[in-house]
Amino acid sequence: MEAFNDFNNPQVARLPKHLKQYIVDQNYDKYTPVDQAVWRYVMRQNYSYLKNVAYYPYIKGLERAGLSIERIPDLQTMNDNLGKIGWGAVTVDGFIPPSAFMEYQAYRVLVIAADIRQLSHIEYTPAPDIIHESAGHAPIIADSDYNNYLSYFGSIGAKAMFSAKDFQLYEAIRHLSILKEAPNTSVEEIEKAEADLQAISENMGEPSEMALLSRLHWWTVEYGLIGSLEDPKIYGAGLLSSIGESASCMKEKVQKLWYSIEAINYPYDITKPQDQLFVTATFQNLIDVLEEFASTMAFRTGGSSGLRKAVESKNTATAVYSSGLQLTGIFTDFKDNKYGGITFLKTAGPSALALENKQVNGHGKDYHKDGFSSPVGKLKNILKPLEDFTKADLQENEIGEYQPVELVFESGIKVSGIIKKITSHQNKIVLITLENCTVTSPANDILFKPEWGIYDMAVGEKIVSVFNGAADKDAFEEITYISKDETLKHVYDPKTSDLHHLYQLVRDIRVSQSGYDLLEPAFNRLVAEFPNDWLCLMQIAEILHEENLNTDLQDKITCYLSNMAKSHQELSKLINDGLKIMQKLVTQN
C-alpha cells in the first residue's frame, strides 16, 4: 500500500483514516496548457474585480495561501503556506458527502477538488474544482475570525443527522456535476440528470439537520456577504471563484437580506445564480446563528427527538447515555415515556460501544454483529440513577458480580440473570454484563433469552446526545461511504493535443520573455485550424500589449476577438472582459 503523503503538514498528518479514504493524488502533470490558461484567465479577472469588492485583500490572501495568478497551485506549496496559519489541504475526486466535507473543516483541512473546469464552463461550474476550492476558500482562510468559524462549523456539521433521502440528493448532485464537466455529454443526458435531481429535490420531505445546516453553510461559506446591505463585500467562496456571479450578485436585482437563523428557510439551487444573498455585519454573528441552530440539534438535545432522527436516517448514528457510554449502530426502535424520556432502545446489525469516542475493548461491531438493545432509565422505587451507585449502594441493593439479580426499571422492563461483570468509567457505572439472562417488556414480551448468550446491559438514566456516524470512526467505519460515480477523465484526440501545444508555446514565450517572433505564426495557425478558440488568442494579445510589440498584430488579434464576441453571444462577456483587463495593463507575477 502506498504511503500516505501528509505534505509535512501537521493538520493533514492527524486526519483519521476514515477521512483519508477520500483523498486522491493531485497528479499535477495532468493539467494541460489549456487548464493553466483557464486558471490564469479566471485569476486575472478575479484580481481585477475582486480587489474592490472582496472583504479580504484578495491578492494578499492568495499569497498567504501559496497561490499565484500565473499557475494552478500544487498541494505541497499550498500546505507549506497554509501550515503557517494552522491549516492544510488535500485533493479529492469531485463532491464528497457533506458530513465528510464538514469533518475535514473541523480538522482545519481544506478539501480541494483535483480537477479544473473546462474552458466552456470558465465563468461557473456546478462541479467542485480547484479554482473554486483553492481560489475561493483559501484566500480568506488567513482571516483568523473566519477560519475559526469555518472550523467550528465543521465540528458541528460532522454531528448533523442525515435523512435517507439526503444520500439520494447527494448522488444526484454529484452525477449531474460530473456529466456537466465531462466532455461530449449529450444534451439528453444532462436534461435527464437535471430532471432526476429536480424530482428528488421536490420530494425530500421534512429537511434533515444536515439539509438545514447545509443551507447555513451555503449562505455563509459559499455565498456570504459581509458589511452593510447597501455596500456589502464578498467573502463566500462560491462568489469569489465565479467571475460571472461575483459581478452580477452586486446588482440590485439580487436581494440582500440580513443573515439570521431564518436563512435555514431558504433552499438553494447549485445549477443557477442565486435570487437572494445574506449579509452579516460580523463573523461573530455567523457563530451566534450557528449556535442558535446547534441548540436544536440531536447531539445537543438527545432524548426522543434525537433518537427519532436517528431511526429516520437509516444510517449509522451514535446515542450517548448520561453515564458517558456511547452506542453506535443503525437505530431501528426506541420507547419513551410521556415526558419524552427514553425507556428502551435498539439497533440492528453491527453495533459497538465506546467511551470518550474510543471503542470499549471486546465491544466492537464483530462482537455485537446482530445489534444491541437495552433499557434506559432509573430502577423502580430508587431515586439515585444506577450509573451513580457507589459500592455501598450496590451492596445495599444486592447488586454485585457473580450474584443473581432482578432489576426492575421504572418503565416496567425487567432484567434478571447472574451478573458477570460491572464496568465503570470515571466513577460512573456504564455497563453490566449478565449471563443466563432474561429481559422482558412491561407487557411480558421476551426481549432477550438466556440461550442467546451473554447480555450486555447499557447503564444510563437518559440519552443526552445523538449524533451522525460512529463514536470511534476509525474502529467502526473501516470503509466510509464513497460514491461509485467517478469523475470522468479526459482523453484528448490528436487535434486537441495540437491545440495544447500552441497554448504551451504561448505560455513558454510569456514565461521566458523570448521567442516573440513565434507569436504571429501561432496566431495564423489558431485562426486557420482552431477558429473558435479565443483564450489562446487573448494570451497572445496580452503578451504583445504588455511588451509593446508588433502593434499591427495586436490590432489584428483585437479585431478578430471583437468580431468573435459579436458573432458568439456566449463568448461576448468573456472576450470583452479579457480585453478590458489587457487595456488596463493589470499584471501580476
Q: Phi-psi category of 439—alpha, beta or left, where left has phi over 0 and alpha has psi -120 to 50?
A: beta
Torsions phi, psi for 274 (to 5 deg): -80, 145
| Terminal-residue alpha carbon distance, the chain | 40
Q: Which of 440, 461, 459, 460 is nearest to 449 (CA)?
A: 440
| CA distance linking residue 510 with residue 44, whole number of Å | 15
- Residue 547 DSSP one-character state: T
| CA distance linking residue 429 with residue 323, whole number of Å | 7
396 marked among binding-site residues: no
Q: Which of 267, 337, 256, 263 is nearest to 293 (CA)?
A: 263
222 marked among binding-site residues: yes
C-beta atoms surrounding 75 within 10 Å:
24
Percent helix, strand, coil in the chain, to 5, is: 45, 20, 35
368 marked among binding-site residues: no
Torsions phi, psi for 145 (to 5 deg): -60, -40
| CA distance linking residue 47 with residue 54, whole number of Å | 9
Q: What would the grid cell of residue 317 be? A: 448514528
Strand 342-355 relative to strand 358-359, pairing: antiparallel
The answer to whether residues 293 and 301 touch, using CB atoms and an 8 Å cutoff, is no
Q: Which residue ranges are tagged as binding site?
A: 132, 137, 222
Q: Which residue ranges are tagged as binding site for Fe cation?
A: 132, 137, 222
